[in-house]
Amino acid sequence: MPVFRYRGYNTEGKEVSGTLRADGEGEAILRLKESGIFPKELEEHLKWKKPPLFQFASPQKTLPHFTRQLATLLSSSVPLADALHSIGQEYSGYWHGIVLNIAETVSEGASLSRAIGAYPEIFPEYYRNMLAASETGGNLPEVLETLAEFLETDTEIRTRARTAMLYPAFMIVVSVFVLSFVFTFVIPKIVRIFRESSADLPLITEILIRISSLFHDYWWLLLGGTAGISYLLVRLHRLKPRYLHHLFMLIPLTRALAYSRFTATLGFLLRGGVPIIRALELSSGVTGNAWLEEIIAKARSMVTEGKGLSESLTGLSPVLLQMISTGEKSGQLPELLIRASESYKKEFIRQTEQITSILEPVMILVMGVIVGFIVFGVLLPIFEINQIIR
């Protein structure tokens, strides 16, 4: 049912505005007049149907904040529909329309899990499943608090991962651009003077000339080779992501990130009452690692056949498997999984900080060596030519 935004006057002559759901514009006007509102402006609210092309924060980044606000209001005994209407007024554009539409759906008698089901691109499947389970159990505010904590932790990890990659990627791109420009346009003009002098050039200058000639004469080959390798890597990642992702699991940093997301999601779902088979299916999709997803999928089949989780997740860290085994025996599997997630999160943060602190001086040192090589390659023949002239 479409959502209409209206502006008009009530029976006291005061200007009012808001939204309502109706099958058409005529029904919307009729319902407004029945409620004592004389509409001045009426339009169908379409902003929520598609996200804007350019936005400062994606809808997914707003989800933790929305969840936290809703949990706080419901914990204060605010009715669900009123809480959603209040939250919707704080947003603008895309999220404003989404929340108001959910509020209208809930006001008509639908459950919250059913109302958010219209937006699978915003609300993950585990989010909807957790809300459905909480509505049955009557503990919606508590589950929303847990969801907010989980989403905030996941957002923090994602932000740290992006930040860790941003600086080196920026430095590499700038360095490649600057060095390509120097070797393609600057160095050839300088070495032309040395060639015209017919003097014997130092080895370092000869190497500099050859590198410059390679950039100047075969730039198209270097560019095509780089594009070709990039295409092959992207193609391999699409067709056979398992092989690349298996290599990623050999790196302590990316392994800690994948384990943290897997254990956090699985523990969170199990603590919320989701059956283990369904929890494994949902948690496999958030790891971001195809190799780990394959292991979890095999484990899900083995658990279905009656085997334990720890013996089904073959190939994972022995320490993690031991914690899972202990959790199964003690009946505290969700708590131990969440504790393992915190441990892997701290490990990921520690390694990220170490790599960032080491990477900056290393890149400065490498750039200094390259600049020194260029400077000596240019200055040494100048000194020798001066000696010959004297």
Q: Which two tokens stand for residue 142?
A: 């508590």
CA dist 70 and 113 (Å) reads: 13
pLDDT at 322: 92
Is the pLDDT reported for residue 43 higher than 80? no
Is the pLDDT reported for residue 52 higher than 60? no
Comparing CA positions, the residue from 117, 158, 123 lying closest to residue 144 is 123
Span 81-99, average pLDDT: 84
pLDDT at 221: 83
pLDDT at 369: 86
Q: Taking a C-beta distance cutoff of 8 angstroms, is the pair 2, 44 a contact? A: yes
Which percentage of the chain shows pLDDT scores above 90? 5
Highest mean pLDDT among 37-51, 310-324, 363-377: 310-324
For residue 4, the tally of other CB atoms under 10 A from its CB is 22
Q: Is the CATH code 1.20.81.30 the one for domain 252-344?
A: yes
More confident residue, 178 or 66: 66
pLDDT in tens, 201-256: 778 878 877 887 777 777 788 788 888 888 887 887 677 777 778 888 888 888 88
* Secondary structure (3-state) at 3: strand
List phi, psi (to 5°) of 118. -75, -5
pLDDT at 48: 47
Q: Taking a C-beta distance cutoff of 8 angstroms, is the pair 122, 129 a contact? A: no
pLDDT in tens, 177-209: 887 787 777 777 777 776 666 667 778 878 877
Which pLDDT band, with edges at 50, 70 and 90, does 98 fall under?
Answer: confident
Token pair 């997630």 in the structure block, residue: 341
Q: Which of 23-27, 84-88, 249-253 has the lowest mean pLDDT?
A: 23-27
pLDDT at 142: 84
Q: Taking a C-beta distance cutoff of 8 angstroms, is the pair 82, 69 a contact? A: no
| H/E segment holding residue 355 | helix 333-389
More confident residue, 130 or 37: 37
List phi, psi (to 5°) of 197. -80, -15
CA dist 385 and 200 (Å) reads: 9
Is the pLDDT reported for residue 370 higher than 70? yes
Is the pLDDT reported for residue 90 higher than 60? yes
Q: Which of 27-31, 54-58, 210-214, 248-252 has the lowest mean pLDDT?
A: 54-58
Highest mean pLDDT among 32-36, 267-271, 301-305: 301-305
Dihedral of the alpha carbons of 371, 372, 375, 378, in degrees to the nearest 10: -110
* Secondary structure (3-state) at 254: helix
| H/E segment holding residue 39 | strand 38-44
Is the pLDDT reported for residue 30 higher than 80? yes
For residue 269, the tally of other CB atoms under 10 A from its CB is 25
pLDDT at 188: 77
pLDDT at 336: 92
| Angle (nearest 5°) at CA 254 between 248 and 259 | 110
Span 299-313, average pLDDT: 89
Is the pLDDT reported for residue 148 higher than 80? yes
Span 344-371, average pLDDT: 83
Span 289-301, average pLDDT: 89
Classify burial at 174, counting beta carbons within 10 Å of its beta carbon; exposed 0-12, middle 13-18, buried 19 or more: exposed
Span 289-295, average pLDDT: 87
Span 147-160, average pLDDT: 81
pLDDT at 274: 80
Domain 59-151 fold = Receptor-associated Protein (1.20.81)
